[in-house]
Amino acid sequence: MDNFLQRGSALSTLPSSSSSYATGVHSLSAEVNRVSSLESKAHQQEITFKMICSNDRIGGVIGKGGNIVRALQSETGATINVGPSVAEC
C-alpha cells in the first residue's frame, strides 16, 4: 500500500507541460519509422547462403514433402533451390 502512495505522489510531481512530451515522442517515433523505412530500402541487396549437405541428410533440410522449404519461403520471402549432388561430400 505504501508503494502505491509513493508512486501516486511521484506522478503528481510531473510538470503540467508533460503532456507535450508525449506528442513530441509520437513525432519522433514517426520520423524514426520513416527514416528506418528509407534506410532499409536503400540497403536491400541479394544475399546468398549455400549449404553443402550429404545426400542421406538432405531430406532433413528439405522436410517431408518439402514442408520446411515451403515454410521458410513463405515466412521470409526467400527463394530456395536445391542444386545437383557434389561428389565426395
Q: What's this model's pTM, rounded to 2 decimal places? A: 0.45
In the predicted model, what is the mean pLDDT of the chain?
A: 71
CA atoms within 13 A on the CB side of 81: 6
* CA distance linking residue 53 with residue 88, whole number of Å: 11
- Where is pLDDT greater, at 86 or 5? 86
Query: Residue 72 CA to chain centroid, in angstroms?
Result: 14
Question: What does the pLDDT look like over 52-87, one tens digit per residue?
Answer: 888 888 899 899 999 999 999 999 888 998 888 877
* CA distance linking residue 44 with residue 61, whole number of Å: 26
- Residue boundaries of the structural domains of the chain: 17-44, 47-89
